[in-house]
């Protein structure tokens, strides 16, 4: 009896007959830069998919040339619809470095695809700049927010960034100058590997390069001035990094809370009653693969979270506006949960704890007697760790100084069995 679905049968059959799809990396030198294997894949293909620029670079092909559909998200279904035919997909340089390769790998078994790459734009940029690639921070700004570069702007850093288009170099220069990094060196590398390759360098605060082609990338050597606004690497950013209305987990408590949440690479956090979004933002800053969902009932606070996530690096936070726990519906199960508000709402803790993955961590903070009583009851029921955090700051008292204590915070941490 065949227990496989028709789709699985089709997939297995295709895998048994070897690769039907050739993924070919294409440089700015077009056909001239292709290996004999890549040329053979191109000539034998019944269908050749690629961007208009790719198809123009290779010229006429024996098979049917198809430009990418618009919007581009329809490209993968269009390719998969031709499964089993001889298909060649053209990509820029290395298809697995910010290219279509990642999407194809998620949709196809590796046996159905052969990959013939070329040097990535990052590799070519390193050779032109004589920079060891392992010492560089790599980022793509193509189709992504410019602010993604902000966490990488560290003193002495070398950054390689794929541009969105010809406007990106000027925009990055302006961003650097605004943050006190105007002395940084910015090199624009255009059409790398092709006959029209061009490389030009300038100080960020003296940017005046014109006539930049859309296909370019940037090499930034960061020089920080005395007033540079550098995003610290530690937990507990100063409160003035965040726009807020007073609903903010303060820096000292935030650092302790992040430590209790214990972020690990690639994990998802639910930030419940997110306020300004500070906990979720710092969670995401701990690792580039971390994600968060911020649940916030008030529209003005939800909008503020959006502004904070952008100015602090366009970190991957999904903002859900609505009252918890109803707003939890349909969301991916988290690895960790922080409850900073609404702990007394009926069913909120229970719904969050049910959603939490086994082995996940839940941390809740309270400053009121009622909130503390709720945490004590939860501790009695579920165990975990309960602590009270008291912090005082030095304040002027007339012509002298004294310690002014902040409201103590009761914090409960529990690991789900």
Q: What is the pLDDT of residues 338-365, one digit of tens each?
A: 999 888 899 999 999 999 999 999 999 9
Q: Is the dihedral of CA 11, 12, 17, 21 positive or negative?
A: positive
What pairing do the DSSP bridges indicate for beta strands 47-50 and 64-67? parallel
Give the pLDDT score at 51.
Answer: 93
Say if residues 22 and 48 touch (Cβ distance below 8 Å): no
- Does the structure show a pLDDT above 70 at 12? no
- Does the structure show a pLDDT above 90 at 325? yes
Would you place residue 247 in the very low, low, confident or very high pLDDT band (cuts 50, 70, 90)? confident
With CA atoms as reference, report the closest residue to 27 among 15, 16, 38, 17.
Answer: 38
Would you place residue 30 in the very low, low, confident or very high pLDDT band (cuts 50, 70, 90)? very high
Give the pLDDT score at 71.
Answer: 82
Query: Cα(82)–Cα(79) distance, rounded to whole angstroms?
Result: 6
Query: Cα(230)–Cα(224) distance, rounded to whole angstroms?
Result: 8
Residue 331 DSSP label: P
Locate the DSSP E strands across 36-126.
47-50, 64-67, 87-92, 113-116
Give the pLDDT score at 302.
Answer: 97
With CA atoms as reference, report the closest residue to 43 among 2, 73, 86.
Answer: 86
Would you place residue 17 in the very low, low, confident or very high pLDDT band (cuts 50, 70, 90)? low
Would you place residue 122 in the very low, low, confident or very high pLDDT band (cuts 50, 70, 90)? very high
Which secondary structure element, helix H or strand E, spans residue 382, and what is its range? helix 369-382
Tokens of 93: 């340089």
Would you place residue 316 in the very low, low, confident or very high pLDDT band (cuts 50, 70, 90)? very high
Which secondary structure element, helix H or strand E, spans residue 358, and what is its range? none
- Condensed to tens digits (0 to 9), the pLDDT of residues 381-393 reads 999 999 999 999 9
Position with higher pLDDT, 68 vs 413: 413
Provide the 3-class DSSP secondary structure of residue 12: helix
Tokens of 415: 């690991």
With CA atoms as reference, report the closest residue to 121 among 136, 106, 108.
Answer: 136
Would you place residue 11 in the very low, low, confident or very high pLDDT band (cuts 50, 70, 90)? very low
Provide the 3-class DSSP secondary structure of residue 3: coil
Which secondary structure element, helix H or strand E, spans residue 199, and what is its range? strand 198-203
The vertex-268 CA angle with 290 and 162, nearest 5°, equals 30
Provide the 3-class DSSP secondary structure of residue 398: coil
Give the pLDDT score at 18.
Answer: 77
- Laid out side by side, the sheet with 317-321 consists of 317-321, 291-296, 268-272, 336-339, 361-366, 409-415, 385-389
- Condensed to tens digits (0 to 9), the pLDDT of residues 171-199 reads 999 999 999 999 999 999 999 999 999 99
């Amino acid at each position: 009896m065949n227990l496989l679905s028709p789709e699985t049968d089709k997939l297995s059959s295709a895998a048994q007959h070897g690769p039907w799809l050739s993924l070919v990396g294409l440089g700015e030198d077009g056909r001239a830069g292709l290996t004999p294997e890549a040329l053979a894949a191109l000539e034998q293909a019944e269908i050749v998919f690629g961007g208009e620029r790719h198809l123009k670079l290779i010229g006429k092909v024996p098979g049917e040339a198809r430009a990418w559909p618009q919007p581009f998200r329809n490209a993968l279904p269009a390719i998969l619809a031709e499964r089993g035919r001889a298909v060649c997909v053209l990509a820029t340089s290395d298809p697995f470095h910010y290219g279509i390769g990642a999407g194809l790998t998620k949709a196809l078994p590796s046996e159905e695809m052969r990959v013939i790459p070329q040097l990535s734009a990052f590799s070519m940029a390193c050779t032109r700049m004589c920079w060891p690639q392992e010492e560089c921070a790599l980022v793509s700004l193509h189709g992504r927010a410019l602010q993604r570069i902000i966490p990488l702007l560290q003193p002495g850093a070398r950054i390689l960034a794929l541009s969105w288009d010809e406007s990106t170099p000027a925009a990055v220069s302006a961003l650097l100058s605004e943050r006190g990094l105007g002395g940084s060196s910015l090199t624009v590398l255009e059409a790398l590997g092709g006959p029209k390759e061009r490389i030009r360098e300038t100080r960020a605060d003296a940017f005046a390069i014109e006539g930049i082609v859309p296909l370019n990338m940037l090499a930034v050597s960061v020089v920080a001035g005395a007033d540079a606004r550098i995003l610290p690497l530690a937990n507990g950013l100063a409160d003035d990094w965040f726009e807020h209305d007073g609903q903010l987990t303060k820096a000292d408590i935030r650092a302790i809370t992040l430590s209790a949440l214990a972020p690990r690479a690639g994990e998802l956090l639910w930030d419940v009653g997110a306020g300004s979004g500070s906990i979720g933002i710092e969670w995401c800053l701990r690792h580039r693969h971390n994600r968060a969902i911020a649940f916030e009932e008030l529209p003005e606070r939800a909008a503020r979270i959006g502004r904070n996530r952008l100015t602090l690096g366009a970190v991957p936070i999904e903002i859900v506006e609505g009252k918890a726990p109803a707003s939890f519906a349909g969301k991916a199960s988290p690895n960790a949960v922080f409850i900073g508000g609404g702990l007394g709402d009926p069913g909120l803790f229970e719904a969050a704890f049910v959603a939490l993955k086994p082995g996940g961590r839940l941390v809740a903070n309270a400053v009121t007697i009622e909130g503390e009583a709720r945490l004590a009851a939860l501790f009695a029921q579920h165990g975990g760790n309960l602590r009270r955090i008291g912090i005082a700051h030095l304040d002027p008292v007339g012509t002298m100084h004294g310690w002014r204590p902040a409201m103590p915070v009761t914090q409960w941490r529990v690991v789900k069995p």
